[in-house]
Amino acid sequence: MLIEPKLWRLDGQTTTLLLVQDHGVPRLVWFGDTLSSKLNISQLQMHDDSALAFGSLDAVTPLSLFPQASTGYTGSPALNGHRNGKQFAHCLTTTSVRQSSNTLYINLTDEYTHIEVSLELSLHPQSDVVSLQTTLRNVGNSAYTVDWIASATMPLPGNYRECLTQHGRWGLENQTHRRHIAPGRIDISNLHGRTSHEHSPGLACGTAGFGNDHGDVTFAQLAWSGNFSLRVERLSNGNVALQSGVLYLPGECILQSGESLTTPVTSFTRGSGMNACTQQFHRYARQAVLPAWTRTQRPIHANSWEALYFNHDSKELFELIDAAAGIGAERFVLDDGWFKHRRDDTKGLGDWYVDESIYPQGLTPIVNHVRQHGMQFGLWFEPEMVNPNSDLYRAHPEWALHVDNIQTPLARDQLVLDIARKEVSDYLFERITSLVHEYNISYIKWDHNRDLVLPGDGSCARAAKQPEALYTLLARILATCPGLEIETCSSGGARCDLGVLQHTGRVWTSDNIDPIERTSIQCGFQRFFPPEIMGAHVGHKKAHLTGRDTSLHTRAVVALQGQYGFELDARKLDDQDVITLKHYTELYKAHRHWLSEAVFWQLTTHSKAVQACGNVEHNQQQALYSVVVIGNMHSTRAGHLPLSGLDPNANYTLALASANKTELAAFNKVLPPWCEAPQSTRGELLMKIGVPLPVMPPQSALLIHCEQHSTS
């Protein structure tokens, strides 16, 4: 059917998005660098790929924002659904397109299958990040089963050849994996019921060999904390598309007559090199996603877990609080073990009442002692879980997710509560808010320590209802406790995405705080998320998860990449360790006022053994760069490290900010002059020639500080 072509345009700071409506569903013809304002639709149509090959359909239908099999599209359609096996094919056409500021509202209708689709496409002008989500409505008289609906389908340039995704496991999250975009589909399917350790809901696609500062790159991330699918597909006709959406379990999504569903948002951005895309995602998260309190100076945490585990002896806790305050902690978090029956991880989950056998006066003495040191008090919860050995489970076994006649496998001796049930959500809301009000709790560490296996209500699957119920519960708690801050922790980094981060503003990045392992974990994390929300703690000399011994300087330098804190027994530090930690604590306090808006740069190094990144103040007045050597280098010297993000025309003072000159000197006959005393140089030289690094042994680290100064 011929229609009058129409052109729609959205503009950001450096980005233009062009949408053309000349077929059944609008299509994206450009998303990238700003284009001339004088473009017209006839000029754009001249650039259409209209060649028609033999052995194909008799007409070319361009890839639309909502591709359908009825147009001859042979890739992953935007919708797979049916009415009891019938009406499985869809022929949606545009009924209206409306623009309001930087958002397009596109409405589609299929009169035969009686469904309606609305697409909401926005360009965030300050960050150049595009967001797209889809609403599906069943306007028929019978139930409609949804097997798959894409949050977004975005065409990618045909010259894109590589896809970078992030995978891992517990204690080793966000590890980078790069693969060729070959014919067929790359499908990252996550069925863990949470964002997961195994698969990040974000990816990068680009031209061959794209890197930190080169190549044409597109980033995408799905704002969803449950099962998902990310798909990158190259068809034989040359089309390349990226698609994302919720991965529903069988029969999980059935829309009755008159019902609708709205998908999570998928966010995209495009830039020259990964650093450009990272910086745009960081701006988007800061301005459009994260809670407002993340823009304030972030306090230094001390967490009780690796110091005491389940040993909640009051005398030891008081001593630990004193010692944590002595090294500069500003918030003390009481971790697992404070509630009824919880002497180990086999019982008590769900019984959110203070255990009077160890706290006969409640938490008041502990809270008061924390506040006597001027620290905030935080408390650990794992609200969505229940131990079979608990009062809650004995009273309400039906509250746990399950499938009748199949025994649900345990993990950490626990099951998952069906928080989409009103009575479950109400119970958790009452318990959490009561404790927050009673003890004036300022912070909650919200944990989630297992995958969802057999997530049903007895008969039907309910995995997709859990993230939605979580967001609702978090919003309800925060509305009742407006000063409360919540951290998302899921046995480390298994629940981190732009969905949960609308309600939480800190992420426990990984249970692994070995600084050598953390270097790659934090690199992957910061690819999509800003560093100030990344929980990064100084741990014990011997890492509890790996058994590796590392220098206190290395542990502190890596912790300073994020929201700095302690996960150690400060009572056992010797005098020199206390002095060392105080140095890094004061360093964090001196710079955190600008770090929450800093521009992040991943640096390219000459050796795979050297990892480096930096934060630059938004006005380029100063910067902190961390360098970590994770293993032996082939060369005897580390060579030069070119920095990024500085003003090339400014003069900078270059200084060693880490307090480990003596430690490094043991491996150097001669140290570079800037390690001995601050040196003056030009920004262009720091970025083009680079900083001459000292000889650095494996598992060592240093921190570089650059600060602008005048020549006078």
The answer for 218, left when phi > 0, alpha when psi is -120 to 50, beta otherwise, is beta
Which residue type does 360 have?
P
Question: Which whole-number Å values give the CA distances from 540 to 544, 556, 581, 675, in the listed order?
Answer: 8, 11, 12, 27
Vertex 491: Cα angle to 488 and 494 (nearest 5): 65
| Residue 93 tokens, joined | 């056409």
Dump the DSSP string for 203-242: EEEESTT--SSSSEEEEEEE--SS-EEEEEEE-TTS-EEE
22, 128, 336, 447: which one is catalytic?
447
Q: How many CA atoms, within 13 angstroms, populate the side-chain half-sphere of residue 264?
A: 31
Residue 501 CA, chain-centre distance (Å), reads: 8
The CA radius of gyration of the chain, in Å to the nearest whole number, is: 27
Give the whole-angstrom CA distance, residue 103 versus residue 123.
7
| Letter string b/e over residues 151-174, b meaning 16 or more CB atoms within 10 A of that residue's CB | bbbbbbeeebbbbbbbbbebbbbb
Give the Cα separation of 382 and 549 in Å (integer): 31
Q: In degrees rounded to 5, what are phi and psi of residue 416? A: -110, 130
**Is residue 474 a contact partner of residue 432, using CB atoms and an 8 Å limit?**
no
- b/e code 546-560 from CB counts within 10 Å (16+ = b): eeeebbbbbbbbbbb
Q: Is 569 known to be catalytic?
A: no
| Active-site residue flag, 426 | no
Torsional sign, CA 80, 81, 84, 88: negative
DSSP secondary structure, 556-572, as one string: HHHHTTSEEEEES-GGG
Among the listed residues 22, 216, 511, 514, the single catalytic one is: 511
Which residues are CB-contacts of 30 (< 8 A; sequence separation ≥ 6)? Answer: 16, 17, 18, 44
Q: Which secondary structure element, helix H or strand E, spans residue 195, and what is its range? A: none
Tokens of 560: 């300073």
DSSP secondary structure letters along 362-405: TTHHHHHHHHHTT-EEEEEE-TTEE-SSSHHHHH-GGGB-EETT
Q: What are the catalytic residues?
A: 447, 511
